[in-house]
A and B are shown apart, each in its own frame.
Chain A
């Protein structure tokens, strides 16, 4: 399975700051090493109305 990551450091020809799809194991390793971050947008947090 491929995982979309945004690279913090260049990886195999893709420049830093760009997104690429990598096999899950490699993507997780890069994220763990701080060399990439998940490209999936953070889930929207629904704010709960309190009171009236």
Chain B
């Protein structure tokens, strides 16, 4: 066998990246904002006004069919606001168009801030429509006796692959001509914020609760092979609503996931379930009385800031909006426990395109209304290479 040579730098990079990944999951908190004075605010405002003008001109040029001009505006903006050279934007010939990159990156940056999935899952830059992830295989270690060879083959478990296929997500908005003509920083912020949030929310809904019916992804709730634990300990416990959840169910969920893969796990619950857990009392004291708020000093993403708590089980809990989970019912997922950074993957294709519609957008006719529909398109995918490493707490069937 050839010796594989790894330099110290390469090894350090891998270790550093792994540590950063781990920290992100363990202490997902936001960077504090720097102090802001009038000078920096004014400079920032002027720069934003300039950027807002660029975006408005760009959309107007596209609207009037002046593709060449739109492309020139995008390219001039890209030269002015130095952006990543390798951001892989489609060209006109590919059906897309050059896009002012600062705008796209801001939208993506907002999606990063608001997306729970982006904060929790392992982010995987995709090189094509489909990536095959190695999903299972046997890794064994052994002590080798003197003069003997090692036996590492586990005949029962060979490597298999999970295909991760990108699908299109879109976020859109209808804007009026006046808004574009009077482009202001506030308008730009509002549109960027809105598109970023819409993309992030769509991703989150698919990641947690996608039903697998085309064109939806299969999210964690619809995933086969997860480790399922029931509220009340059995499928006939009578605990068939979210309101009957107990912190002992959290213990059962944590312990239900194999300890080898659940070691760095975190809980994810919807807001309503968190409410029921917070209000639960043991004797006359609230169960959560003893918890301390999660430390706000490390790295992470805004989505989880202020939404993360330590639980009596010793593992962190992230609280997400109710809209990302199914509604309370019998035989329904009420909480997840997993090492998300290890066992859930979000693939991101870096092509982002912007489309513009003048006659009809979504279900709204725009003809003669002096409004335009703008749409941002991204391609992402989700994969769960080892479903059994994901614990799902479900309400009882009866």
Contacts and interface: CB of A to CB of B under 8 A. Distances in A.
A44 B90 CA distance: 61
A4 B258 CA distance: 19
Contacts of A42: 236
B224 A21 contact: yes
Contacts of A29: none
Given A18-B228, A19-B229, A22-B225, A13 B386 contact: yes
A41 interface: yes
A20 B398 contact: no
B202 interface: no
A19 B225 contact: no
Contacts of A20: 224-228, 388
A23 B397 CA distance: 18
B157 to A, nearest CB: 9
Given A14-B388, A20-B388, A2 B224 contact: yes
A39 B235 contact: yes
Interface of A: 2, 4, 12-15, 18-23, 39-42
Interface of B: 136, 222-230, 234-236, 256, 258, 261, 331, 386-389, 397-398
5 shortest interchain CB distances as A-B pairs:
A13-B388, A41-B236, A19-B228, A14-B388, A39-B235
24 contacts: A4-B228, A12-B136, A12-B225, A12-B388, A13-B227, A14-B227, A14-B388, A15-B227, A18-B256, A19-B229, A19-B235, A20-B226, A20-B228, A20-B388, A21-B223, A21-B224, A21-B226, A21-B228, A22-B224, A23-B224, A39-B397, A40-B235, A40-B397, A41-B234
